[in-house]
Amino acid sequence: MNTFVEERFMKELNEHAGIVHRICRIYFPDTDDRKDVFQEIVFQLWKSYPSFRGQSRFSTWMYRVALNTAIAHIRTHSKTIAVESLHDDHWGSAISPEQDDEQMNLLYAAINTLSLVDKAIILLHLDENNYDEIATITGLTKSNVSVRLVRIKKKLEERIRNTKNK
């Protein structure tokens, strides 16, 4: 890549680095795994950048590459991912800082019980992506995204309610 392309890539990567951090955090509770996968995702983004044609937003393309890399890493290494509570500083603007820590811990614990694809969908939703963007990133249809989000929200509500009642 030439210097201009490298600079443009680094600028875009730095502007949207939170995407990679959130994906790593939700899929990899272990700090060392997170660091490894973060580097792997950045490498895949760098390697794939010449194929980015600008037909979608950079962040949409970045989500797709990052999620695919994270999920492929999980499948390749077939580790069991432990449930760990996450904190709101890993979600950027998707989570209000005024929210109660206990509620946030319940939400993150519930999210960590979801399937890999459902985690991706709810993460994208919490990052305020619209249904079209979620569909583009995940490769699902817009109507499938809509149906799955309704089901995911119900699962999360039920799991949180069951946890509170214990």
Q: How long is the chain?
A: 166
Let me know whether 91 and 162 are in one domain: yes
Let me know whether 120 and 159 are in one domain: yes
The whole-number pLDDT of residue 1 equals 63
Let me know whether 142 and 97 are in one domain: yes
Q: In which domain, by residue range, is 142 found? A: 87-166
State the total domains in the chain: 2
Whether residue 123 contacts residue 26, with contact meaning beta carbons closer than 8 Å, is answered with yes
Q: How far is CA 44 from CA 36, 39, 161, in A?
A: 12, 9, 39
Given 82, 103, 129, the domain boundary residue is: 82
Phi and psi based region of residue 83 (left: phi greater than 0; alpha: psi -120 to 50; beta: remaining)? beta
The whole-number pLDDT of residue 100 equals 54
pLDDT in tens, the chain (166 residues): 678 888 999 999 999 999 999 899 888 888 899 999 999 999 999 999 998 988 889 999 999 999 999 999 988 886 444 434 334 444 344 444 444 577 777 888 889 899 999 999 999 998 889 999 999 999 999 999 999 999 999 999 998 888 878 7
Let me know whether 126 and 150 are in one domain: yes
The whole-number pLDDT of residue 95 equals 41
Phi, psi of 86, deg, nearest 5: -105, 165
Give the domain CATH number at 99: 1.10.10
Distance (Å, rounded) from C-alpha 141 to C-alpha 147?
10
Give the domain CATH number at 1: 1.10.1740.10
Torsion sign over Cα 101, 150, 74, 78: positive
The whole-number pLDDT of residue 45 equals 95
The whole-number pLDDT of residue 66 equals 95
The whole-number pLDDT of residue 96 equals 42
Let me know whether 2 and 71 are in one domain: yes
Let me know whether 41 and 70 are in one domain: yes
| Prediction pTM value | 0.69
| CA proximity to 83, closest of 151, 159, 166 | 159
